[in-house]
Each structure stands twice: as C-alpha cells, then as structure tokens.
Amino acid sequence: MGQPRIRIEGLSVAYQQGQPILHNINLDIAKGEIISLIGASGCGKSTLLNVIAGLLAAHSGRVLLDGKPIDGPAADRVMVFQDDAVFPWMRVRANVEYGLRIKGLGAAEMARRVDEVLDLVELKAWQNAYPKELSGGMRKRVDLARAIAVDPQVLLMDEPFGALDAMTKERLQVEYLNICERIGITSVFVTHDLEEAIFLGDRVVVLGRNPGHIASVLDVEFAHPRDIAIKRTAAFQFQRGRLNSLIR
C-alpha cells in the first residue's frame, strides 16, 4: 500500500481550559477514499475536520497531507458546511468564479474551469441565476461547485445535506458520489445519518466521546457506482444494524 493521502498520527485536541476534545486519533485515508465520520453530538467530529482543514491546531500529534504536516489552511483542502455559503448578491457563475479569482487564474482558463464545474454539478442552465432563485438543493450544488472549482485534493463535508428534505438529500448523495468518483477526490464526510454514512463511505469511522476517540471502523462492502436503491436491500439494512450496534 502506498502513502496515504491523509495520515492522522496520535492527534489530541483540548479546550483552552485543558479539557480534552479529541484523544489519540490515528487514521490513514487513501487517495480517492471517502470516509464517513459519525458519532454522538459533542464527540469532536467537526473539530477533527477543522484540524484537517488547518483551521485548528493540534495539542499533540499531527496530520499529514501527502507526507507533509498540515500547519494551516490552504487551497488543497476545502470545506462545505450545512448552512449555505453562497454569496446572495452574486449570480451562480460569479459564485463559482470566486475562488479562482483569488488564485489569480487568467480569464480564459477561469472560463474553461467554471464551465467544466457547472457541467459537473448540472447547473450550467442556471449560471446567471441568483441564489434566491434556486432551491435549497441547488444552492448546495453551488457550494459544492465553488469548493471543487479550485481543484483541491481533499473535500471536507460538515453535515452538508443535514437541512434538506429526504428526497433532495438522496438525490444529492448520488450526485456527490458521482462527482467524487469522476474527479478522484479524497473526502471526509461528517453526518448524523446512519444510512447516509454507509451509502457514501468506503469506510465509516465511529467516534466515541469524553474525549473523542475512534471507537470503531466499519468497512462498507458495496462496490461503486452505487444506486440509491441499495438502501432498500437486506444487505444494506444489515450493515445499518451493525453500525447502529457499534454506535450504541
């Protein structure tokens, strides 16, 4: 096995008062792998994402990206949150261009990249719309498009579909998997939804709490591509039962 894209070694994080949030987290994540991260509220899921993003420093241990320590935020790691992060005063195309302008891309290269990403998330027909004219699911696709436009190596998802209705959530789950597979990106996906965790993840990492630690890891036994209908199968529900038992 080659070098992992992300290696987490002995990672511990504590509040300023010294109370631990995460303790001795060790995890290798392969290039192109999707890790679902699940656990009870307060176990440190978002904290772990923030450390990988470089937004929060470890108290001990380290996180490596392609063998190099992460010591701050960078464009090779992007995060998508539950709340919309689109700029309401910008049209869809301008939202997707935003990160590319910061990177200093030339006009022709930026136009090519934006067209490519809008096609990928199926928003080309809505490129001149304002966010207020879009559904919640479409705004989330704008968030995703803006994140992947800068060509990151790691996509960090912090309960991005948590506020959506069930049908929209399932549609976006399928689209997310298709996008990850097409661009070969590595992703860590935080969720409270057991079915979402299994459907999206190559592995499901269960965090325990007090302090946050890796309680168990579930290997997901379904090949790609995955169809949403797999959720209705006995094999899927068996894995859901296993995951529920691991969490309990």
Domain that residue 118 falls in: 6-247
Is residue 112 situated within a structural domain? yes
The encoded tokens of residue 146 equal 């803006």
Is residue 89 situated within a structural domain? yes
Is residue 187 situated within a structural domain? yes
At residue 11, φ and ψ (nearest 5 deg) are: -75, 125
Least Cα distance to 30 among 49, 63, 4, 8 occurs for 4
CB 86 within 8 A of CB 143: yes
Is residue 1 situated within a structural domain? no
Return the pLDDT at 163: 87
Is residue 151 situated within a structural domain? yes
Q: What is the pLDDT of residues 131-141, one digit of tens each?
A: 999 999 999 99
Return the pLDDT at 83: 86
CATH code, 127: 3.40.50.300
Output the pTM of the full model: 0.94
Is residue 231 situated within a structural domain? yes
How many domains in the chain? 1
Q: What is the pLDDT of residues 145-158, one digit of tens each?
A: 999 999 999 999 99
